[in-house]
């Protein structure tokens, strides 16, 4: 009887051991990361990003570009898909490293200078001679926006008006792009204007000095002058015609 009991105990122990091994294997399987097969990976597409900073006015080279993969449908509309789309073109704005490149932020560099490629269609470039004061103390840089103030003398009195608002600075002196942030003394500033605005600048320059007013990049549009409140006068005058005396407002 003792041998029979021993056999049953051994058999029961073996069953418990097998159950313990089974439970342990299941627990370990749940802890391991699941391997994703290629069929489970979402479809991706290639987009181009900036491998390093691309300054305003910089001609794009292959070293500026980096390929990344994104899930299909996540890339913004107009994103550059391959390097050939923008190589040799000119940046219309400062582009930071890692930024997804958009086709609309580049202009085609055709014949002529780089500056000519930065001018928007139907616009013109006009250069205004300035000094260190008129040039906003040397803090003007390509890509800034300015207002143009013109002064003229009328009846021995100087009158100053803002004749143009929110103009883009294309270049300072002969520089259309710069990484410098420190003030630089300039002698000429090239502005992007419409044909009519170009005529206004030339006319104002002949009538008197021109001053540039630097704008905040987020401050866009035309600055409206506050309305002038007219105060009615209640004064009266006395009109005497012979013996007839009248008062009029």
pLDDT digit string, tens, across residues 159-199? 888 999 999 888 887 666 555 555 566 678 899 999 999 99
Q: Is 19 among the domain residues?
A: no
Q: Are residues 92 and 147 in the same domain?
A: no
Q: Is 12 among the domain residues?
A: no
Greatest alpha-carbon span in the chain: 159
pLDDT in tens, 90-143: 887 789 999 999 998 888 765 556 677 778 888 999 988 876 544 455 567 788
What is the model's pLDDT at position 167? 92
Q: Is 4 among the domain residues?
A: no
What is the model's pLDDT at position 131? 61
Q: Which CATH number belongs to the domain containing residue 92 in this structure?
A: 3.90.1210.10
Q: Are residues 208 and 175 in the same domain?
A: yes
| Spatial CA neighbour of 127 closest among 181, 180, 55, 186 | 186
Provide the domain count of the chain. Answer: 2
What is the model's pLDDT at position 130? 74
Q: Are residues 80 and 132 in the same domain?
A: no
Q: Are residues 147 and 204 in the same domain?
A: yes
Global model pTM greater than 0.75: no
The angle subtended at Cα 205 by Cα 207 and Cα 211, nearest 5°, is 110
Q: Are residues 162 and 83 in the same domain?
A: no
Q: Is 96 among the domain residues?
A: yes
DSSP 215: -
What is the model's pLDDT at position 50? 94
pLDDT in tens, 5-22: 777 777 778 888 888 888
Domain that holds residue 90: 44-107
What is the model's pLDDT at position 74? 87
Q: Are residues 151 and 72 in the same domain?
A: no
Q: Are residues 207 and 149 in the same domain?
A: yes
Q: Where are the beta strands (DSSP E) in 18-156?
A: 44-50, 65-71, 90-91, 106-107, 124-129, 145-154
Q: Residue 13: CB partners within 8 Å, gap ≥ 6?
A: none
Positive or negative CA dihedral for 192, 197, 202, 206? negative
What is the model's pLDDT at position 228? 42
Q: Are residues 133 and 181 in the same domain?
A: yes
Q: Is 102 among the domain residues?
A: yes
Query: Which tokens sit at 110?
Result: 């055709």
Positive or negative CA dihedral for 71, 75, 78, 80? negative
Q: Is 175 among the domain residues?
A: yes
Q: Are residues 99 and 144 in the same domain?
A: no
Q: Is 209 among the domain residues?
A: yes
Q: Is 204 among the domain residues?
A: yes
Q: Is the pLDDT of residue 238 over 90?
A: no
Q: Is the pLDDT of residue 226 over 50?
A: no
Q: Are residues 58 and 137 in the same domain?
A: no
Q: Residue 194: CB partners within 8 Å, gap ≥ 6?
A: 122, 123, 124
Q: Are residues 209 and 136 in the same domain?
A: yes
What is the model's pLDDT at position 210? 86
DSSP 172: E
Whole-number average pLDDT of the chain: 78
Q: Residue 95: CB partners within 8 Å, gap ≥ 6?
A: 50, 53, 54, 101, 105
CB 78 within 8 A of CB 104: yes
What is the model's pLDDT at position 133? 46
Q: Are residues 101 and 131 in the same domain?
A: no
Cα 85 to Cα 140: distance, rounded to the nearest angstrom: 32
């Amino acid at each position: 009887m003792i041998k029979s009991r021993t056999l049953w105990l051994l058999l029961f122990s073996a069953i418990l051991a097998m159950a313990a091994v089974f439970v342990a294997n299941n627990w370990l399987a749940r802890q391991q990361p699941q391997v994703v097969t290629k069929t489970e990976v979402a479809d991706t597409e290639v987009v181009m990003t900036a491998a390093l900073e691309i300054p305003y006015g910089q001609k794009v080279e292959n070293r500026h570009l980096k390929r990344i993969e994104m899930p299909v449908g996540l890339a913004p509309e107009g994103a550059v898909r391959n390097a050939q789309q923008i190589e040799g073109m000119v940046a219309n704005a400062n582009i930071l490293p890692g930024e997804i490149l958009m086709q609309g932020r580049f202009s085609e560099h055709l014949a002529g200078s780089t500056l000519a490629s930065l001018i928007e269609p139907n616009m013109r470039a006009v250069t205004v001679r300035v000094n260190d004061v008129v040039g906003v103390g040397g803090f003007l840089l390509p890509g800034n926006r300015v207002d143009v103030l013109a002064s003229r003398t009328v009846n021995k009195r100087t009158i100053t008006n803002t004749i143009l608002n929110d103009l883009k600075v294309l270049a300072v002196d002969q520089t259309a792009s710069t990484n410098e942030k420190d003030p630089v003394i300039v002698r000429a500033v090239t502005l992007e204007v419409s044909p009519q605005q170009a005529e206004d600048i030339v006319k104002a320059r002949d009538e008197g000095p021109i001053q540039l007013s630097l704008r905040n990049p987020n401050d866009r549009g035309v600055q409206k002058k506050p309305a002038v409140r007219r105060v009615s006068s209640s004064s009266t005058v006395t009109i005497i015609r012979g013996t007839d005396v009248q008062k009029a407002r």
